[in-house]
Structure 1
Amino acid sequence: MASLAEKLAPESIKKLIPYQSARRIGGSGRLWLNANELEHPMFFADHQSALHRYPDFLPHDIAAAYQAYCDTTQPTIAVRGADEAIDLLVRTFCQPGVDSIAICTPTYAMYEFCAESLSVNVIKCPLLAPDFSLDVDSVVAAARQANIVFLCSPNNPTGQLLKKENIVSVLEQTQDHSLVVVDEAYIEFELAESVVDLIDQYPNLVVIRTLSKAFGLAAVRCGFIIAATSVMEYVAKLVPPYPMPDSSAEIVLKALTAEGLAQVAANTQSLIRTRDAFIERLSTIDWIDTIYPSSTNFVLIRTQPGIELFEYLVKHGIVTRNQSHEPSLKHCVRITIGSEKSMQEVSEIICNFSDALTPSNKNRDITHEQNA
């Protein structure tokens, strides 16, 4: 019986023979003269490793280390950040001009961007107000027309976890016709809520991870796809040769040691304490309409109409993320959690802004906004 992945994969992907790089073909020998590399390295800087050989065609050591970190035996591929993971999945399982994906807005913009860049249709299922919870019925209905459903948990830019029981409900009702991709870029801030363990039960589940957030390795560009064998056999066909330089791989392997993981866990807990203290300091400001619960290293704040918080912070040298372009995020600003010192400064500046806003200022600004 054909797997779901086999049903979804276009014929062009099924027929595709992966590029047979020298490292993929492999072999053993004394002289390596198969990849048109220089046989001996040249060095252009002090303390530089030899760079004349191509890296592993798939970084197996990294994948194995990450499997151990996730406590899973499911196939795992290291890719160049979560963005490449999204692109690979769309290219593998969607035909341009024919197929669709479903996303739950507001959410990470790369799902829509990758689909549209490949002429793949996007079906939008808005998250439910006021808490941005998952509309299971809407997602399941959209999935009947979509090869892939993207769920971001914890969600960016809203910051909240999607309830695991809701994710399971979607998996249950889509397992015959759609892949469900759960993007766990921020999962280290709620590690117990990961759904990686559900892949054993639901082979239509794919999990995306990254080292760009809690691991602090954004410049290294390392992400992961974790999926059942039936899914991974098609994704692996599209992974480009030599996807990660050895210099990056070495850093990742150090990060995934017991010492590295302990450092990540300690720093994550420190960020959570700083985040919660920042939220508490802002919680009494009357012109802040909502501070949304966060399971990430950022906080989404909705102000009352007419309060130009984003512009005010920019004037004070603080660059945040204005989310007002999203219909459901009017008057919202997303603030990344930095060091305790930085967040203390930001909270003081915001409180100073509060002091500068007299009741008449507020009313005038709000009236102007409503009449605009």
Structure 2
Amino acid sequence: MSSIASTLAPEAIKKLIPYQSARRIGGAGRVWLNANELEHAVHYGESSQNFNRYPDFLPHDIARAYQDYCQVTSPVVAVRGADEAIDLLIRTFCQPGKDKIVVCSPTYAMYEFCADALAIETLHVPLVGDAFELDTQGVIAAAKQANLVFLCSPNNPTGNPLSQQAIIEILEGTQQDALVVVDEAYIEFEIDQSVAALIARYPNLVVIRTLSKAFGLAAVRCGFIIADESVMEYVAKLIPPYPMPDSSATIVLDALSEQGLHKMRTVTNQLIETRDWFISQLGQYDFIEKIYPSATNFVLLRTRAGETLFAYLLKQGIVTRNQSHDPALRDCVRITIGSQHSMQEVVAALNEYSSQS
């Protein structure tokens, strides 16, 4: 019986032979003259590291370490950030001008951006109500016309985790139609909401993760795809030959070590405490109409002040995110949680704004 991934993958992808880089072909030897590299490093500036050799064609050590961290047996592949994971999945399973994806707006804009860049249509099934819940039947119906469904949980920019039961209902209802991609970029802030363990039961589930948020490694550009082997068979065909520099891989392995994970969890817990304190402070302002619950490192506010709050904070040197471009988020501002000192500065600015309004 063929898998859903096999059904969705275009014939051109099925026929594609992965690029045979020097590192992929491998081999044992004493003098390495197979990759057109400089044999000896050239050191620029104060760096003493050797960058003349191409890195591992697939960072296997990273993938194994992340698999251990997630406590999953499903295949894991490291990519250059979650954004590359999104683009890679769309390029693997959608044909330009023919196939479609489904998104549940308001959500992360990169899903539609990547689809647009490849001439792939996006079907919108908006989140429902003030709690931004999934319209499960709407998603299932739209998936019959699409190859990929993107769900962001916890969702950006609303901050709420999507119901696990609703995700399971969608997985059940789309098994013969589409792959369901759950973007868990913010999952460390509410780790018990992860659906990664469900891949063993639902081969049409793909999970995207990143080290850019809770791990604090946004500049390193490291993300992950976790999926069934039937999905990875096709994704692997399109992965670039050298997806991650050795210098980045070293940092990632340190982050995924026992000591690194302990540090990440400590920082995450501190940030959650700061977030909850900040939310408690926001309740005193009449110009804030709604404070949305958050399972992330940001808070979404709906204000009665419209865009003037965003503009006022900007004048004070505090850069937030104006979400009013989305009709469902009119008069909303998204504020990332920084240090306790930074959030106290925001509260001081809000006090001053309140006294003037």
With structure 1 as the length reference, what TM-score do the two structures score? 0.95
SS state at 1:302 partner = strand
* 1:360 counterpart residue number: none
Tell me if structure 1 keeps the 8 A contact 2:80–2:243.
Answer: yes
SS state at 1:254 partner = helix
Give the counterpart letter for 1:309 in structure 2. L
* 1:98 counterpart residue number: 98
Tell me if structure 2 keeps the 8 A contact 1:105–1:127.
Answer: yes
* 1:36 counterpart residue number: 36
SS state at 1:49 partner = coil
Tell me if structure 2 keeps the 8 A contact 1:102–1:124.
Answer: yes
Tell me if structure 2 keeps the 8 A contact 1:299–1:334.
Answer: yes
Whole-Å separation in 2 of the counterparts to 1:22 and 1:158: 45
Give the counterpart letter for 1:91 in structure 2. R
Query: Residue 352 of structure 1: CA displacement?
Result: 1.5
* 1:49 counterpart residue number: 49
Unaligned runs of 5+ in 2: none
- After the TM superposition, list the runs of 4 or more consecutive aligned residues in structure 1 that deviate by more than 3 angstroms: none
- Number of residue pairs aligned between Structure 1 and Structure 2: 357
Whole-Å separation in 1 of the counterparts to 2:307 and 2:109: 25
Tell me if structure 1 keeps the 8 A contact 2:306–2:332.
Answer: no
Query: Residue 177 of structure 1: CA displacement?
Result: 1.2
Query: Residue 284 of structure 1: CA displacement?
Result: 2.0
- Equivalent positions of 1:71-86 (< 5 A) are 71-86=71-86
SS state at 1:78 partner = strand
* 1:362 counterpart residue number: none
Shift of the 307–251 alpha-carbon distance from structure 1 to 2, 3 Å rule, reads closer
Tell me if structure 2 keeps the 8 A contact 1:287–1:307.
Answer: no
Give the counterpart letter for 2:113 in structure 1. F
* 2:252 counterpart residue number: 252
* 1:261 counterpart residue number: 261
Q: What do you get for the CA RMSD once the two structures are aligned?
A: 0.9
Query: Residue 351 of structure 1: CA displacement?
Result: 1.6
Per mean C-alpha deviation after superposition, the further-off stretch among 118-127 and 306-315 is 306-315
Query: Residue 40 of structure 1: CA displacement?
Result: 1.8
Whole-Å separation in 1 of the counterparts to 2:279 and 2:90: 37
* 2:6 counterpart residue number: 6
Tell me if structure 1 keeps the 8 A contact 2:307–2:322.
Answer: no
* 1:361 counterpart residue number: none
Query: Residue 307 of structure 1: CA displacement?
Result: 6.2
Tell me if structure 2 keeps the 8 A contact 1:211–1:222.
Answer: yes
SS state at 1:160 partner = coil
SS state at 2:209 partner = strand
Identity of aligned residues (%): 66
* 2:24 counterpart residue number: 24
1:52-80 Cα offsets, whole Å, 9 max, x none, are: 11000010011011001001111111000
* 1:199 counterpart residue number: 199
Query: Residue 45 of structure 1: CA displacement?
Result: 3.3
Whole-Å separation in 1 of the counterparts to 2:351 and 2:206: 43
* 2:185 counterpart residue number: 185
Whole-Å separation in 1 of the counterparts to 2:336 and 2:307: 19
Query: Residue 39 of structure 1: CA displacement?
Result: 1.6
Whole-Å separation in 1 of the counterparts to 2:48 and 2:9: 43
Whole-Å separation in 2 of the counterparts to 1:168 and 1:244: 33
* 2:159 counterpart residue number: 159
Higher Cα radius of gyration: 1
Whole-Å separation in 2 of the counterparts to 1:306 and 1:213: 28
Whole-Å separation in 1 of the counterparts to 2:306 and 2:247: 49
1:135-190 Cα offsets, whole Å, 9 max, x none, are: 11111111111100000000000000001000000000001110000000000000
Unaligned runs of 5+ in 1: 358-372
Establish whether residue 216 from structure 1 lines up as the match of residue 242 from structure 2.
Answer: no
Shift of the 335–306 alpha-carbon distance from structure 1 to 2, 3 Å rule, reads closer
Whole-Å separation in 1 of the counterparts to 2:83 and 2:145: 23
SS state at 2:17 partner = coil
Shift of the 121–43 alpha-carbon distance from structure 1 to 2, 3 Å rule, reads same
Per mean C-alpha deviation after superposition, the further-off stretch among 194-203 and 346-355 is 346-355
Give the counterpart letter for 2:190 in structure 1. E
Whole-Å separation in 1 of the counterparts to 2:262 and 2:353: 39
Whole-Å separation in 2 of the counterparts to 1:215 and 1:139: 31
Tell me if structure 1 keeps the 8 A contact 2:307–2:324.
Answer: no
Give the counterpart letter for 1:289 in structure 2. E
Establish whether residue 294 from structure 1 lines up as the match of residue 291 from structure 2.
Answer: no
Tell me if structure 2 keeps the 8 A contact 1:154–1:295.
Answer: yes
* 2:119 counterpart residue number: 119
With structure 2 as the length reference, what TM-score do the two structures score? 0.99
Give the counterpart letter for 2:235 in structure 1. V
Query: Residue 305 of structure 1: CA displacement?
Result: 4.9
Shift of the 29–128 alpha-carbon distance from structure 1 to 2, 3 Å rule, reads same
SS state at 1:91 partner = helix
1:207-241 Cα offsets, whole Å, 9 max, x none, are: 00000000000000000000000000100000011
1:111-143 Cα offsets, whole Å, 9 max, x none, are: 000001000010001001111011111111111
